[in-house]
Structure 1
């Protein structure tokens, strides 16, 4: 099945030039019999990596699928694969918008060639599912590292124990580390929210679910939204106002979403109440943002500094938002100031 998104939007130029486009397994590989794609050596945190990820899944090595969760375009399972526990995501056909579901699958591969502590790692991906291993509702499968069954939304709203500042600050730094790395590779996630931040047993946050992501052209700060890219959606409570207006995509859209997520960690409340259409209109036309005046957490010195940072992150003018590169030392300074108190 050919990709509805050009491979040039999925992979860096030094990668896709040597690839053939095929109709089975993946748009990245012409052959499906156990071939692998080798990511070019990259400098990551001072070390060179030549990690492999596979363009096929060895289905006979897959064991014991157990449901973990489901979203708009797919379902996630835990499974055993080649002796290790993995997460298996089946991207389903959307009967109302088949193009969007196909594009969501290919968008999942925008970060497949990247390796970072705060990003969920892709192990393998394929569109070729043998008989007996799937059903007609699935258009593709992605195997990823299994982080666990816990996400940030569950921690914010479902855990009885307090979410102390040292913890949400540490989570925030993890998320910004992941965003800085993604943005350095021109990948806009476009659906940053607590439910898409997985938390490992070691209490490390990892950004997951790239089904709404977009790879920006190098040297291009803002990418116009093509009418053919119908998978770009995201969650309305976290979407930047320029995206709600249908304007261009920039990496700064993720900074807006991070600001809403940080507020949720601090207050442990939903960002908005009321009907969806009212919220959409108010965010765009009236600069509606989550309230900082009715929460005691913002009355402290740390809360006051976070309030100032939030106002920058969710500014209606994306040029006033910090980049992830600029945001990271600001979050780290907040963490140090909290430790010194």
Structure 2
């Protein structure tokens, strides 16, 4: 089953001073994944484990970067490092969904891998001088940069050659392989949720739709209490559109759409949203690989075959992330 949202976790915001704030997160057991400092830490924030304490007085130069449906993101200095600060807000139309989004963001908080954005700290305690009544909690993460794949694909004129998009896609696949090996399904893989660092490395971010499968469980029914499951409709796997069980293979479908976008630099679908949703399920609609010169080369034909497997309507026919990584690395080695 997906990771439950215990009613005891749906905690109200608390008004505290600007000193060290110990989060209600610390009251719950997450195995050995938490690090709760007994005193104010010194030096860098590069810690192996994430913390349930944010030292608010150590935040400097907080400036807005962007905002979305469930929160706002800021760039800041924290304990000597540049970090990203995400404040999750209550959604007035669906308060439960916004709370679920906050807790889902922490499904991968204990994981460390180069293609996943690292969580440094998270808390539901937000000081009055920093937050407001609409805030559910705050997450401190590594600052990757200001660019994401959506901007690179559609918003700039710089070349996106074969070597580059193959490298990007292999980065995403490696991140998915690591997540899936730890039972985390992202459920919203798309270009906007892949950040690109100054070293040109892709890192998966925004886990607000993610679920944590039980140990040893390869598939799970969709819980009626997890109202935010599904992600972006253009990248959503058919089984999720039909309300069937979710598995890591849902991420592989989304990866296939993302890979097509990297290759073609075009939008996957046009037309009415409901028409697209219906056609994906009922008529096996997929982004076009016809009349695309890039798919005419030998490597292009191999990519076309790989895309067909990734976005198969039957999740069992899709490759795992474990299979994807060597396949993409092999394609890249032939560039």
TM-score (norm 1): 0.87
Corresponding position of 1:254: 251
Q: 2:58 matched to 1:61?
A: yes
* 2:134 aligned partner: 137
Q: 1:239 and 2:232 equivalent?
A: no
Q: Take 1:306 and 1:267, find their aligned partners in 2: how far apart are those partners?
A: 12
Report the 3-state secondary structure (helix = DSSP H, G, I; strand = E; otherwise coil) of the residue aligned with 2:284.
coil
Say whether residues 1:201 and 2:198 are aligned partners.
yes
1:100-119 matched pairs, under 5 angstroms:
100-119=97-116
Equivalence for 1:164 = 161
Structure 1 runs of 4+ with >6 Å offset: none
**Matched residues in 2 for 1:257 and 1:51: separation?**
29
User: What is the DSSP-based 3-state SS (H/G/I as helix, E as strand, rest coil) of the residue aligned with 1:212?
Assistant: coil
Alpha-carbon deviation of 1:93?
A: 0.4
Partner of 1:265: 262
For 2:247 and 2:146, the matched residues in 1 are separated by: 31
2:71 aligned residue (53, 74, 82): 74
Q: Which residue of 2 aligns with 1:184?
A: 181
**Aligned counterparts of 1:163 and 1:50: Cα–Cα separation in 2:** 34
- What is the alpha-carbon distance in structure 1 between the residues aligned to residue 302 and residue 24 of structure 2? 47
Whole-angstrom CA distance in 1 between matches of 2:50 and 2:177: 22
Aligned to 1:5: 5
Q: Counterpart of 2:106 in 1: which secondary structure?
A: helix
* Equivalence for 1:230: 227
Distance 1:22 1:95 in 2: 15
Give the count of matched residue pairs. 311
Query: Greater CA deviation, 214-223 or 168-177?
Result: 214-223
Shift of 1:274: 0.3
Measured against aligned partners, the alpha-carbon deviations of 1:254-294 in whole angstroms (never above 9, x if no partner) come to: 00000000000000000000010010000011000000012
1:329 & 1:94 partners in 2: Cα distance? 41
Q: Residue 311 of structure 2 contacts residue 318 of structure 2 at CA under 8 Å; is this kept in 1?
A: yes
Q: Relative to structure 1, is the Cα distance of residues 267 and 170 closer, same or farther in structure 2, using a 3 angstrom cutoff?
A: same
Preserved contact between residue 4 and residue 102 of structure 1 (Cα < 8 Å): no
Partner of 1:155: 152
SS in 2 for 1:142: strand
Q: Structure 2 vs 1, CA of residues 50 and 157 (structure 1 numbering), >3 Å: closer, same or farther?
A: closer
1:322 aligns with 2:319: yes
Q: Distance in 2 between matches of 1:187 and 1:164?
A: 31
Call closer, same or farther: CA 1:4–1:255 in 2, change over 3 Å.
closer
Q: Deviations over 1:203-225 (max 9, x none)?
A: 00000000000000112111111
Deviations 1:233-259 (A, max 9, x none): 300000000001111110000000000
- Give ranges in structure 2 of 5+ residues lacking alignment: 15-21, 37-45
CA gap 1:70/1:50 in 2 versus in 1, 3 angstroms: closer
Comparing 212-221 with 311-320, greater Cα deviation is found at 212-221
**Bigger relative contact order, structure 1 or 2, given CA contacts below 8 A and separation 6+?**
2
Unmatched runs of 5 consecutive residues or more in structure 1: 8-19, 40-48
Given that 2:35 and 2:52 are in contact with CA atoms closer than 8 Å, whether structure 1 keeps it comes out as no
Distance 1:50 1:90 in 2: 21
User: 2: CA distance between counterparts of 1:101 and 1:289?
Assistant: 31
> Residue 194 of structure 1: CA displacement?
0.2
Change (3 A) 1:27 1:180: farther
